[in-house]
Amino acid sequence: MKIVAALTDPTLAAQAERQGAEIIELRVDLYDGNVPRQVKDAKAACSLPVIITLRSAQEGGQFFGSPDEWMKKIEPLIPFADYIDVERSFAQHAPAIRAAGKKIIASHHDGRMVPLYILFVMERELRAYGDIPKIIVTPANDEDLIELLTFTQAANKPICTGVMGSEFRHARAILPLFGSEFVYCHTGEPTAAGQYSVEEFVQLKKLSGR
């Protein structure tokens, strides 16, 4: 498992590294001002790999544009990225990102639980254009969580799974034990309800022995 520091404030990149993050995610849909400059400065401030994420409003972010508008905003940021998060609605631009030598986190965020067989279908669809499928769902009960754990263990690797909301916050700590590649935490303000801080998850990782 790798600890990702999801940053609402790009100036916290160095702090995230000091706290024990292994990757930083720059949530550029939340940034104002000169975003390319902010991304460049964050990349220079730490030695960690960088995920660039421009999250759509449909999947919980603040980007409201079309796929072409998404690519227009992403393009000047590509040189500073190691990974680009690409939702399915923006997948038409995945070949250009691959051609630039960047890895793709193919993501889907859902405000409900997805049936187990659909999770496997979704994984194949995401892996068709991405390197690491990222599937985030919202369990309604313990049975849903067990299905998500089952999927995470059985899915081809690498895979990243997670939950939305704070009700099943503990799942964020358990899923990496079943094979989820990344766990998204926060340095500074959380980017999502229920996130652990990087410092909290460093301690949990030590306790798990992983």
Show which residues are catalytic.
109, 134
Contact yes or no for 193/183 (Cβ under 8 A) = no
φ/ψ (deg, to 5) at 178: -100, 5
φ/ψ (deg, to 5) at 194: 90, -5
Q: How far is CA 177 from CA 1, 45, 124, 182, 185, in A?
A: 8, 31, 22, 11, 16
Quote the CA–CA distance of 19 and 12 in Å, as a whole number: 11
Contact yes or no for 61/82 (Cβ under 8 A) = no
**Structure tokens, 28:** 């550029």
HSE (CB half, 13 Å, CA atoms) of 158? 17
Q: How far is CA 168 from CA 13, 111, 162, 163, 172, in A?
A: 27, 13, 10, 7, 8
Nearest to 17 by CA among 204, 184, 187: 187
- Furthest-apart CA pair in the chain: how many Å? 45
